[in-house]
Chain A
Amino acid sequence: MAVSKTISHPFLLLLVLIAHTVMLLLVALSFGFTTEVLKIGCYILTADLVGSIVLQFVHRESCTVDTVMLLVMGMSTIYQSCFGGLQFALRHFLFGIGAFIMCQISYLLVRNPYRAEKLKPLWYICFFLLVGAIFALTGSRGIWIDLGFITLQPSEFVKPVFVLIAASSISTQLHKKTLWGIHFVPDNLMLILCTVVIAGLQWYCRDLGSLPTFVAVAGCGMLLRFYYLREKMSFRLIVFLAVCAVGAGIAAWNLAPAYVQERLHTNIWADMSGSGYQQVKALVAIAEGGWFGKGAGNGTLHNVAASNTDIVFSSICEEWGLFTGMMTVILVLFLPMSMLAVPPRSYYHSGLAIGVAAVIMVQMTLNIFGSCNLIPFTGVTLPFISQGGSSMLSCGILAGFLKAAQAPVLTQKKKAAA
C-alpha cells in the first residue's frame, strides 16, 4: 500500500497567517494602523512562523492539533487585546506560547502508550501531591496559590493528571482480584477514590464549578472499562447506568450547598442587579453585538467582572459578532472532533482522547450555556480562549495528549551502523 501524502504544514500555516492577518485588519479598522496594532500583528505572525519552524524539528506525523492551537491562540490573543480598548495581551500571549510548549512536552511523554502506562504510579503520586498542595496551600474558600509574581490554580493541573489516571488503568480490567469472595479491579477502585477525593476537595474549596468536568472524565473512563476489549453494552447495564446517573443527578441537585442552590433556582431577570447581573449583561451583550458585532474594542462588557474569563464568549460576540463567536467555538471543538477523523490506535490513547474530549466539551458547555442562561452559571474557563495562565497551560497539556493519540510512536529509530 502506498503511503499517501498529507497536506503540507507550510500550506496550513499560510492559511493561518491569512486568517490572522484578516482579523488584524479588522482591529486596524477600529483603531487605525497604530503602533499597538502593528505590535500585536508582529507578535502573532512571528509566533505563527516560529511555531511552525519548531514543529518541523519535533517528531510528528500529525499536525492537526498544532495547527488548530496556532490558529486559536492567535485569535484569542487578538480578542483579549481588544476588550475594553487596545492593549496587547502580553500575559495571555506568553501563556499561549507556554501552552504550545506544554503540548509538545506532554506529547513526547505519552506518545508511547506502553511506556506511558508503566508510569501509572507517577500519575497517582502527582495527583495526591496536587491534592495535598490544594489542601495545604489554599484556604477553604480559595483555589489560588499566590507565588508573588504569579498566581496558580492547582485544580487546573489536576485535570490532565486525572485524565492520565482514568486512561492508564483501562487495560487492567481483566486482571481482577478477589477479596472475601468479591471480584474487583484495584485500578477501578483507585479511580473511584480519586473522584471522591477531588469532589470532597472541591466541596471544601467551594469550587464545585469544575466538578462536572471531573465527573465526566471519570464517567468516560468507566464507560471505556465496560467496553474494554470490545464487549457489547448490555441493555441491563445501560438501564443500570442511566438509573445511577439520574439518581446521582437528583442527589446532587438536592444536596448541593446553599450558594449552589441559589444559582440553580435564581431567576436572572428578577434580580438583574444582584445574582443575575453577569448573565443579564452577557445576554444583552450578545444581542447588541448581532451577527457582525460592534467592532473590536467597541464593547461595553469589559466593565463587568470576569468579562475575559467566565463570560468571554459574550465579550467576543459583542465585539466580533455571533458569527465569529460561533466560529471560534467550532474551532476549539475541532480538537476533540479531530479524533473522529484520526482515531486512536490503542486502548490507552483512546482513554486519553476521550478524557480530553470530556474536559473540553464539558468546560465549553458550562461556560457558553452558563453565559447564555441555559444552565446555572458556574464560572469555568473557555479552553484556549479565556484569560488565565493555569487554565491555558492545562489545556496545552491536554492538547498534547490528543496529539499523542493521533500520532503514536510506531517505530524505533534505527541506530546508525558503526
Chain B
Amino acid sequence: MYSFLSIPIFLAAGFLIPFIGSSNAKNSRRIALIASFLAIVVSLFEIPSVLLNKISVKYMSGWMAPYGISVAVDAFSLVFIILASVIGFLVVLYSKKYITSWSVEYYTLLMLLFTGVMGVLHAGDLFNLFVFFEILSIASYALTAFHKNKKSLEGAIKYLILGSFTASFMLLGIAIIYGIAGTLNMADLAGTLGAGLSTSTAIAFGLIFAALAFKSAVVPFHYLKSDILEVTIPPVGAFFASIVSATGIYAIMRLYFTVFNAGFLTHHILILLGVMSIILGSLMALKQKDIMRLLAYSAIAQVGFVVLAFGMGAFVSESYIAGIYHLINIVFIDALLFFCAGVLVLKHKTTNMEHLQGVGTVNPVLSYGFLIGALANAGVPLTNGFASKWLIYVASIKVSPILTIITVVASAITLAYSLKAYSVLFLSNAKNPKTIKLDGTIIFPIVFLCIICIALGIFYTAGISISEIATKALLNNKPYILGVLG
C-alpha cells in the first residue's frame, strides 16, 4: 500500500521541522512542501491497486484483522485522500506570505494536522479513527490560536472545550460499541452488528455522529465554525472549511454504510439535518458583514446539500453520487474562496467588509478567482457547483418537490450573498486602494482551483464517473469486509 506512507511522511516532517527549521526558518516551509508533494505522489500511486483489487489493506506488524491494527483504502477513501493531499499542498504553498514569524511552530502543527486527516481517511478500526481525530483536533486548536491575539485565543479555547466535549461523546460511543461487539475493527463490526441492530447501537451511533457532525459543522453542531474561521489565519481556514469538514462527512458515511449498515429510517434524520443546515447556513450568510463568517456559513449550507443528498439516497440511489460529487466540488470551491478573500484580509488586516470595500479591484487574479468561486458556490452553469447541484435537484424532485423548492431557493440565496460579497470587495470604489502584488505561491493555488472549478463543470462526466466509482465502494461493503478480514 502506497497511500499509507503519507502518514509517516507527515509525521516525520512534523518531527524534523523543529530540528532542521530552527536554524533556518525557510527550511521548515521547504520540508512541509516536500512532504505535501510526496503525499500527492503516494496517493496517486494507490489508484491502480484500488481500481484493480477494489481495496488495499495493510496489517501493522503482520497482525491480521480483527486482532491487529489494519489500514484499509478503497475507492471512496482514496478520493478523499487525494483531495486532502492536493489541498494540503496548496495550503502549504499559499502560507508563505502569511507566516513571517513562528514558521517552525506553524509548519509543525500543519504537518500534525495533515497526519490526523490522513490517519482518519486510512483508519480501519474505530479506536485509530478516534486517535487520529484527536491528533487533528489538537493541531486545530493550536492553529486557531496562531494569531495570538485576544479573539484567536478566545476562539481556540472555545474550540478546545467544545472539541473535548464532543470527543468524549465519541469515546463513549466507541466504548458502547466495544461492549456490545467485543471488537473495534470496522470490517469485523460490520459482520457482528449487521445481524440485529439494538437501542444501544443506535445510542452509540448517535454519540459518534454528534462528534463527527461537530467537525463537519452539520446543524445543530455548526456553532463554532463561523467563530473559528473568523479568527484563524486564512490558509488554515481554507483547510478547515474544505478538508476537515469533508473528513468529518467521510467518517460519518464510512461508519453509516460500512459499519452500522444503517437502517432506512435513519435517512429521514439526514434529510432533516441537511435541510436545517441549508436553510440556516444560507440565511445566516446573507446577514454577515464579516467576509470570513460569510464564507463559513456558506460552507455550512453547502455541507447541508451533501448531507441532504446522502439522506435522499435511500429513495433515489443516484443521490449518493450527487452527494459525493458535491462534496468533492465544495472542497475546491471553499478553498478557492478562502484563498482569494485571505489575500485581502492579509493586506488590510481586517475581515470586516465595510473596511474592505473595493480593495480587490486592483488585482484581476483575485477578482476572477473570487467570481468563479462565488458562481460555483451558487451553482451557476459552466461551474462544477452547477453540475453537482443539478444532480441533487433531479434527485430531490423524485423524493419530494418541497426539497427541490428548498434547494433551489437556497441556491438563489447563495447567489445573492456570494455576489454581494463579490460586489463589495471587487466592484465598489475604494477610497485608498492599496496595490496588491501576488507571487506564484498565491497565484498558482488560485489559478489551479479556478481551472478545476471550470473543468469539472464542463467535463462533468469525469466528476460523475469518479463519484460513481466511490459510491459503489461505499454502498457495497462486502469487498471491504472480505478484503480486510481475508
Are A and B physically bound partners? no
Residues in B lying within 8 Å of A, measured CB to CB: none
